[in-house]
Amino acid sequence: MTDTPILIAGAGAIGSILGGMLHDAGHDVTLLGRRAHLDTIARRGLRISGLLGNRTVAGMKLADDPAKLGGRFGLILCTVKSYDTESIAAALSDRLADDGVVVSMQNGLGNIESLIETFGQRRVLGARVIFGAEMPSPGCAHVTVFAQPVAIGPAPALHREDSPALAERARTIAARIDAAGVPTVAVNDIMPVLWTKILYNVALNPLGALLQQTYGALAADPDVRPIMDRAIDEAFAVARAVGVALPFSNAAEYRKVFYEELIPPTVSHRPTMLHDLHVRGRTDIGALNGKIVALADRFGLEAETNRMLTRLIRAAERAGEKTEN
């Protein structure tokens, strides 16, 4: 896979940074994204700034429509929003090489399963991305926070007998991204890692979006903190019911890590859901708190806090639509 062409399917902030860093390290990278962003990159290069260093990357292949892509790719990094997973998979169904791999580098649950439906379980990996980035203007991507290395791996509960071979592929891909300057590790089971991030996201993303507050402000607010605690407790119970081997004995142990270790490095960060709510008018709440609610209902568990947060975000989405009209 050393010289295989790489496609970034969703060149937003995260995708642009991954693609730019890989191309700058000598890889053959194509960005698939929005025209305004790509047009600016075509004129003056992609400007990356922030915690991974400052650089301008030129010479990447660019496409604003899957139909304009040339050839097939040995590696596709899927960085679109969760609600676009099915559509991007369908559009790229014939663009992944027979021995290629597509890696879901998205927020939320259900993305790996959606990609498997199109590409097959032998050609799909999952990833946890927990660095924050923003696009201050077209052609620019700024890394605002880097909490932990990117993690890539299979999901044995889904991949079963294909897990060992996929774990080896994950090690190869992780090494390439890490060598390009984005700290990345491989894991044998991505699900506990993804679920640990879900616990983080369900507490912070909707409240940060609704209240327009930083993560640090949310954690410091005596009225908000109990809501976050309850959202985490409900999600933790669902993870246990699903059978995920979380690296915490109980929700209280996770919450201690959440407040003492995870919040401090991201104290000034705001969720991308805030941007999505006010700029895109649509969020990935369905793959986050909404997925917790759906799974809780399936297992007969309580998830009223996550249900409330899901409904509030969906109401905010509708309110934004009325404002535009």
Residues forming the active site: 197
Q: Are 100 and 4 in contact (CB under 8 A)?
A: yes
Question: What is the rounded distance in angstroms from the CA atom of residue 247 to the CA atom of residue 244?
Answer: 9
User: Distance (Å, rounded) from C-alpha 247 to C-alpha 249?
Assistant: 7
- Indicate left, alpha or beta for 65 from its phi (over 0: left) and psi (-120 to 50: alpha): beta
- Asked if 199 and 230 touch (Cβ cutoff 8 Å), the reply is no
How is residue 248 written in tokens? Answer: 């915490």
For CA atoms 81, 85, 89, 91, give the dihedral sign: negative
| C-alpha span between 49 and 194 (Å, rounded) | 26
Helix (H) or strand (E) holding 16: helix 13-24
Sheet strand arrangement including 131-134: 55-57, 46-50, 140-146, 131-134
How are beta strands 61-63 and 55-57 bridged, if at all? unpaired
For the chain, list the strands marked E by DSSP. 6-9, 29-32, 46-50, 55-57, 61-63, 73-78, 96-104, 124-128, 131-134, 140-146, 150-153, 184-186
Classify residue 86 by burial, with Cβ atoms within 10 Å: 0-12, 13-18, 19+: middle
